[in-house]
């Protein structure tokens, strides 16, 4: 292992232990940070407000392309935790002295890079940022302080897991909202449903409802698909 990698690992662990000492064992703080309504309201509220603030096909087509990026980024993050070994989750490494509200018992995903929860929220913040930069910046700060930092505090993730999520999620969203094909495809779909936009609104509602807790339905379907391949 070269000196750069060792330096990064040292920083990773040092920041983790510093934040953990600050609030890793604070159950009230974690209950607040993990509350789905509290952590998700500003970001999801902003997405819905932007969707209904304009009926322009260009904006809605761009937002749909961005939301597709949210889904892809989150699924890629979950897949990486299962299949790409970077480092084990801090809470599972008993050599690290952590004060945490979580029991240090085995998880189904021992690898923690990148954070899937942070990927979801940073991706949604990027969708908002594309449409309204000031609100998007607020969503990025909110996601960092309310979603990402507490996950380091309790030992679920290293800081590098959060940085990876911050790069992965917005990069995919910005790419899909910039490329002409995804946007035009969604604009065309919206034109097809122009007289029945309530169908699009209903589908958006279902998408955001599933995204609210990290696409549990899609994850379950993916696991079923993998099991069927191996049976």
53-99 confidence digits (pLDDT tens): 988 889 999 999 999 999 999 989 988 988 888 899 999 988 899 98
Class of domain 3-230: mainly alpha
Give me the residue label for tokens 């779909």. 189
Say if pTM beats, i.e. exceeds, 0.85: yes
pLDDT, one tens digit per residue, over 146-200 is 999 999 999 999 999 999 999 999 999 999 999 988 888 998 888 888 888 889 8
How confident is the model at residue 183, as a pLDDT?
87
Mean pLDDT of 29-38: 90
Q: How many angstroms separate the CA atoms of 149 and 225, rounded?
A: 33
Mean pLDDT of 39-48: 95
């Amino acid at each position: 292992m070269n000196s750069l990698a060792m330096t990064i690992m040292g920083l990773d662990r040092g920041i983790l232990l510093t934040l953990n000492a600050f609030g890793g064992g604070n159950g009230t703080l974690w209950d607040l940070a993990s509350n789905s309504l509290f952590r998700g309201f500003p970001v999801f509220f902003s997405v819905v407000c932007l969707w209904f603030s304009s009926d322009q096909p260009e904006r809605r087509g761009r937002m749909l392309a961005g939301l597709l990026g949210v889904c892809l980024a989150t699924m890629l993050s979950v897949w990486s935790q299962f299949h790409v070994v970077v480092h084990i989750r801090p809470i599972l490494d008993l050599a690290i002295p952590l004060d945490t509200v979580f029991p240090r018992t085995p998880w189904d995903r021992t690898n923690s890079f990148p954070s899937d929860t942070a990927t979801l929220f940073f991706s949604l913040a990027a969708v908002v940022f594309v449409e309204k930069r000031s609100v998007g910046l607020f969503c990025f700060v909110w996601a960092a302080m309310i979603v990402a930092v507490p996950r380091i505090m309790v030992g679920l993730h290293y800081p590098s897991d959060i940085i990876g999520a911050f790069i992965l999620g917005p990069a995919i969203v910005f790419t899909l909202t910039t490329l002409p094909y995804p946007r035009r495809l969604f604009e065309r779909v919206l034109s097809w449903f122009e007289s029945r936009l309530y169908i699009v609104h209903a589908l958006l509602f279902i998408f955001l409802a599933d995204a609210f807790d990290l696409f549990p339905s899609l994850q379950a379907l993916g696991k079923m698909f993998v099991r069927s391949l191996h049976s």
